Structures are given as structure tokens and as C-alpha cells.
Structure 1
Amino acid sequence: MELIVDERGSFIGKHQGRLRVTKDNERQKEVPIMHLRQVIIAGGGIAISSDAIRACSEEGIPIHFISSNGTPQASLYSAGLTGTVLTRRAQLRAYDGPAGVALARAFTLGKLGNQANLLRYVAKNRKGTAPEIYELLMATAAEVVDYQIAVERLHGETVDDIRDALMGIEGRYAARYWQAIGSLIPPALNWPGRETRGASDPFNQVLNYGYGVLYGQVEHAIVLAGLDPYAGLLHADRPGKPSLVLDLIEEFRQAVVDRTLLGQITRGWQIGREEDGRLDQPTRERIATKVLERLETTEPYEGKRQPLRHILQCQARHIATYVRGERESYTPFIMGW
């Protein structure tokens, strides 16, 4: 169970083994701590008591803070979850050797494969009803092979030798992917193409908020695997930049966020916004709920169907065992279609 609090003026406190959310002294929500998986605090003007934080820490429940537009801001974890040493030493060593090169390539191949498979997935039901769109989606999906070959041909002694080339390949196919996705977005949403920070159109805002929710889930999986979320490979190191989170999230954006939210708008969901153009509170809550629900659904993985949340945690652990030399290779997660 997740507790999502995104209404300004709310207060989260602890009361007899539960987290209670109140506003203006009126009870809004109440969740048993023993059933709670995580707390997501979205936006400003929300307070939480030290007793509530302590209770979450004792039970290993993360508290994620994201802005009203979905930008990840902070996460609180129990100190016991971040006390690993051996895995982090191996992770840092991997950066300067072949393991780092292999991981960076795998993250890129994972994203390319998932983008192509999502296009195939959304094309399936349009073959008879919208043949032109079907052909566009399938043709764009087929193009991915050239990009995958380009990635596999890259070689270098360290990830620094191939990073720029990898990012260039990823960026070129992303442009093709979003162009194809644009054919599915209702004209009323005025889709300008993919925009990240500062997006003013509703669907980009919805995507950015959904990625912000997913970000917290990826970071938590990485921490539980004993890895340092700030020591990435594909994404370059910068102060305060959680590069490994940005690396691993590439394998899950399409399966968890793009598929979920694209399905919502193509089925007629009306995106609500405030007067200032930001997403309104019911819309933000719906996005978070749908993304978290999607994580509980299953995908083919290692010979059987497993929940996406479990797959995410396994992938993080596979990174850890690979850098420690306990796994021969790292295989990215590719969604089914």
C-alpha cells in the first residue's frame, strides 16, 4: 500500500500504529504502518512529524519527495539500508573497466528495445482501424535494429570512451520514437514533441510527473540492492545527480509510464490543470496511482510472468552481482508486446 499526499496544508502524523493525514484538523486518510510500502509527498506546503518519519525508518518504509511537476527532490531511508560497502566499492571500480562499458551498452539497448516494443504494442489494435498509423508505428519499431547494431559495434576500454556515442544513438532513436508516439496523441492536447523540464503542454507534464513517481521506485530498488544511486555509468557524474537511477530508469520508462499514461489519454482521460497551467491535484493523484498500479502488473521475465516491481528489484540486484563478479553478464529488461 502506498500513501500519496499531494494537497497543500496537509499534515502527516503517527497515531496508534497508523499514519494519519489531516488538513484543517480534519482526517483525510489513515493507513496502518504495517501495511505501508512507501510514502510519496508531492508538492509543497505538506508537513510530516518526526514520529511519523521515525516509524517509517524503523519499518524500512521510504519517504519520497517530488515537486508538483514531478521533479524528484529527496528520499528518506533507514540508515541500515545505505550501510553497504563491498558492493559500492565494486560499483566504483566497474566505472574504469569493461564492466562499466557492458552496463552502459546494456542500459542503452534496454531503452531501445522497450521503445520499439511499446510501438509494436500500441500498433496491434490499430491494424484494421487506423492502418496508416499502424504502418508508421511498425516501421519505426523496425528501424531500431540499425540503432541496436550501432550500439553493439561500440568498443572502448572505459565507459568514457563510448558515452557520447551511446547518448547520440539513444537520442536519434528517441526522436523517431516520440515522432511516432505523436501520431497517437489527441490533437486537442497540442503536443509539441517531447519536452522535459519546463514543459507547458498537458501530456508532457503528465509524462514528467509519471517519471518523477517512477524515479523514486527505481532509487529505492537501487538502495535495497546495496548500490550507490549517484555512481552511474551511462549518465555522467555531476554533483547531486543520481546517475545510476537515471541509468536504470531507462529500462522501465516505456513499460511503466509511457504505456500507462498513453493508454489513459487515448481512452479519453481529461487532464485537469490549475489556472497557472500546472496539473491539478486530482490529476497528479491519478498519475501516481496508475503508475504504482502498473508496477504491480506482470511482464514476461526469466521464463515466467512476474510483477514489474519485482523485475525492477531483480534488475538492480543483477547490477550488484555483476559488478561484484558473481554474474557473467547483465541483460537489460525488455517488455513484451
Structure 2
Amino acid sequence: MDLFIEKTGTKVSYEKGYFILENKDEKTKKISFDNINNILINQGCTLTTNFIKNVILKDISIYFIDEYGNVYGNINSIIYNTNPEIKIAQLKIFATSLGRDIGRKWIIEKINNQKLHLQKIHSRRGILNSFVEIEKEFDFLIENIKQIDLNQEQYSNIIMGYEGRASVLYFENIKKFLPKPWQFEKRETQGASEPYNIVLNYIFGVLYSKIEKSLILAGLDIQIGVIHSLGKNRKSLVYDFIEPFRILGWEITFVLFSKKMLNKSDFDLKEKKITPTGKRVIIQELYSRLNNIIEYNGKKIKYEEIIRKKADLLVKELMKNEIHN
């Protein structure tokens, strides 16, 4: 379970196995450490060192998020998988066509998810015939990505070019199915001003924290990616690995607006932010999906567990190829 602390001015301390949340505007809360995996803390909160120490000892991760849901810092225990052989294999394999093919498959899965989401919506609206040409465009982009020579120098730029075209195709079509008050002009990330983009960015911010923790627990270096560009303090692998899981954000955002689960009062558009009430609606829907039981490799598990299992599978694949090389 994740704990969100978003009320500005909240002081968080530790006392006899409990989190103590104090705020002058609310009654003091005592929350047990039991079943807490991650803590996400908004700006304007105060943490005691005793609280931080006990969180670390209990292997609970702390993520600091801004008002838009973006993670700008974190505190993790050092008792993760620190096997240097994993990071060496990651660095070596990602520089080869074998590693680049792993990244290509993530992008193809992302684009296929976009196609299937639109197909499902067209089918439910009884207008599947109008999806035929859209499907052909998606298939064209996927086929071109499959044909890319992974040994050429600009392979990632070429892949991301096709990925960008697929995203434009997806968002140009998805917005047509939103209620008119919630339709948006274009997809925006940083500085988004339209509710759809603000909500989608907020959900992705939370997902980034879950992807990051799964990768770190598996022993991977989140700064060594394969498709997204490398750079100082840039979590390239997080941006790579999240691609097949972005469908979760797209589907949830679409449901929130199409089912009118959010209202205009849930946004402060002057500040380009979601109100605390709106955030609670979004988080409730997100965690309902993360805790949803689905079948994976013949077993029924929570959706969130698939993220961790795929991170572990990535390590196995890297180590297997390292041995063979």
C-alpha cells in the first residue's frame, strides 16, 4: 500500500511504530507502518529525522512529488540488489543490437496498446468500420519500426520518430471521444494547461515512482537506458521501461473524463493544478487498477506485480545474453 501525504504544512514524525501526521487544520493522525510500501509526499511538508530513519530501516521508499505529480527526489534503503554484474551486463548489452531490440519491443508494445485502446472504444461505440484506416496507419508505423537496422548510428532517433507519429495519431483520435468540455487541443507534458493533459501527467508521475522502484529492486541502473537519451541525472531506463505500461494512464484518464468522474471544481486551471479532492478521485481509480487481479503467465496476480516481474525478467534476459556473449 502507498501512503500519500499532500496537505501543505503537515509535519510527519515517528512514535512507537506509527507515523504521526500533524496539521493545524486537521486532527492528528496515527498510521501504522504495517503494509506501507511507499510514501509519496507533497511540497510544504516537514519530516523528522527519526521518521526518515525508521522508514529506511523498514525498507519503505519515500518519493517527493510536486503539485503536478512529478517525482523530484526520493529516499530509498540501501539494502537493494547491488550486484555489479547486473549493471555491467546492462551497460554492455544495451549497446548491442540485442539490447536495442529489447527497447524496440517496448516501443512496439506501446504503439500496439494505443491501437488496441482506440479499437476497443470504436467497437463499444458501434463504429468499428471507421477504425479500419486508423488501424492501417498504426500497423504501418509498427512495421517500419520492425524493419529498422539496429546497428545504424541514429537508430533510436528513427524509432522515436515513428513513436512520435503514433502518439500524434492516438491523441488526435482519443480526444474525439471525450465529452466536449474535456476535449484538448494537443498533448502537452511540461506546463500542461488543459485538464486531460494535467491528469495524464499526474498519473504518469505516480507510475514513474513505481517503475523506478521495481527497476532498482531488480538491481538495474535507472540511468542506463537503451532508447531514450542518456544524461546526467536522467532516468533513461525509467522512461524506456514505462512505455508498455503507459496504457494504464491512458485508459484511466479516458475513464475519468468519459464517465464524468471529475468536475471543473477539481481543477485550479489558473495554477494548472488538480485540487486535493480531484487528486483523491484520480488516486482511487489508479490504485483500483493497480490492485486489479489479472492473469499473467497462467497465474492470477495484481497488475502492479507485473511491473516487478517484468523488471526481474529483464535482468534475467540481460544476464543470459551476457553469458552467451
Q: Same fold by TM-score, threshold 0.5 exceeded?
A: yes
Q: What runs of 5+ residues in structure 1 fail to find an aligned partner?
A: 329-337
Identify the residue that residue 243 of structure 2 maps to in structure 1. Answer: 250
Give the RMSD, CA atoms, in angstroms. Answer: 2.1
Whole-Å Cα distance in 2 between the matches of residues 7 and 79 of structure 1? 29
Counterpart of 1:8, as a letter, is T
Identify the residue that residue 75 of structure 1 maps to in structure 2. Answer: 74
Whole-Å Cα distance in 2 between the matches of residues 170 and 277 of structure 1? 27
Quote the offset at 1:139 in angstroms.
Answer: 4.3
Quote the offset at 1:26 in angstroms.
Answer: 4.5
After TM superposition, list the pairs within 5 Å mapping 1:211-222 onto structure 2: 211-222=204-215
Whole-Å Cα distance in 2 between the matches of residues 138 and 79 of structure 1? 51
1:41–1:135 distance in 2 versus 1, CA, 3 Å: farther
Q: SS in structure 2 opposite 1:80? A: coil
Quote the offset at 1:156 in angstroms.
Answer: 2.5
Of stretches 139-148 and 89-98 in structure 1, the one that deviates more from structure 2 is 139-148
Counterpart of 2:274, as a letter, is L
After TM superposition, list the pairs within 5 Å mapping 1:71-220 onto structure 2: 71-81=70-80, 83-127=82-126, 131=127, 134-137=128-131, 139-157=133-151, 160-220=153-213
* TM-score normalized by the length of structure 1: 0.88
Identify the residue that residue 253 of structure 2 maps to in structure 1. Answer: 261
Whole-Å Cα distance in 2 between the matches of residues 46 and 22 of structure 1? 10
Identify the residue that residue 325 of structure 1 maps to in structure 2. Answer: 320
Whole-Å Cα distance in 1 between the matches of residues 236 and 20 of structure 2? 34
* TM-score normalized by the length of structure 2: 0.92
Equivalent pair of 2:223/2:233 in contact (CA under 8 Å): yes
Counterpart of 2:134, as a letter, is T
Identify the residue that residue 50 of structure 1 maps to in structure 2. Answer: 49
**Structure 2 residue 239 is the aligned partner of structure 1 residue 225:** no
Identify the residue that residue 11 of structure 1 maps to in structure 2. Answer: 11
Of stretches 76-85 and 20-29 in structure 1, the one that deviates more from structure 2 is 20-29
Counterpart of 1:319, as a letter, is L
1:109–1:305 distance in 2 versus 1, CA, 3 Å: farther
Counterpart of 1:152, as a letter, is K
Quote the offset at 1:138 in angstroms.
Answer: 5.8
Q: SS in structure 1 opposite 2:63? A: strand
Whole-Å Cα distance in 1 between the matches of residues 73 and 307 of structure 2? 20
**Structure 2 residue 293 is the aligned partner of structure 1 residue 298:** yes
Query: Higher relative contact order by CA 8 Å / sep ≥ 6: 1 or 2?
Result: 1
Whole-Å Cα distance in 1 between the matches of residues 130 and 52 of structure 2? 50
Quote the offset at 1:304 in angstroms.
Answer: 4.2
- Give deviations 1:45-103, integer Å, cap 9, x for gaps: 11122222222211211111111012221121101116331111111111221222111
Of stretches 71-80 and 275-284 in structure 1, the one that deviates more from structure 2 is 275-284
Quote the offset at 1:141 in angstroms.
Answer: 3.8
- Give deviations 1:115-148, integer Å, cap 9, x for gaps: 1122223333211xxx3xx544564245322222
Whole-Å Cα distance in 1 between the matches of residues 136 and 298 of structure 2? 25
- Give deviations 1:28-47, integer Å, cap 9, x for gaps: 543211221210113x2111
Indicate the percent of aligned positions where both proteins have the same amino acid: 23
Equivalent pair of 1:119/1:138 in contact (CA under 8 Å): no
1:297–1:139 distance in 2 versus 1, CA, 3 Å: farther
1:135–1:54 distance in 2 versus 1, CA, 3 Å: farther
Whole-Å Cα distance in 2 between the matches of residues 164 and 211 of structure 1? 23
Equivalent pair of 1:11/1:23 in contact (CA under 8 Å): yes
Whole-Å Cα distance in 2 between the matches of residues 29 and 288 of structure 1? 20
Identify the residue that residue 333 of structure 1 maps to in structure 2. Answer: none
Whole-Å Cα distance in 2 between the matches of residues 17 and 138 of structure 1? 58
Equivalent pair of 1:296/1:309 in contact (CA under 8 Å): yes
Identify the residue that residue 334 of structure 1 maps to in structure 2. Answer: none
Counterpart of 2:277, as a letter, is P
1:263–1:141 distance in 2 versus 1, CA, 3 Å: farther
Q: SS in structure 2 opposite 1:324? A: helix
1:89–1:136 distance in 2 versus 1, CA, 3 Å: same
Counterpart of 1:317, as a letter, is D
1:171–1:28 distance in 2 versus 1, CA, 3 Å: farther
Whole-Å Cα distance in 1 between the matches of residues 47 and 163 of structure 2? 40
Whole-Å Cα distance in 1 between the matches of residues 130 and 37 of structure 2? 41
Counterpart of 1:162, as a letter, is Y
Whole-Å Cα distance in 1 between the matches of residues 198 and 99 of structure 2? 33
Q: What runs of 5+ residues in structure 2 fail to find an aligned partner?
A: none
Equivalent pair of 2:107/2:163 in contact (CA under 8 Å): yes
Counterpart of 2:250, as a letter, is D
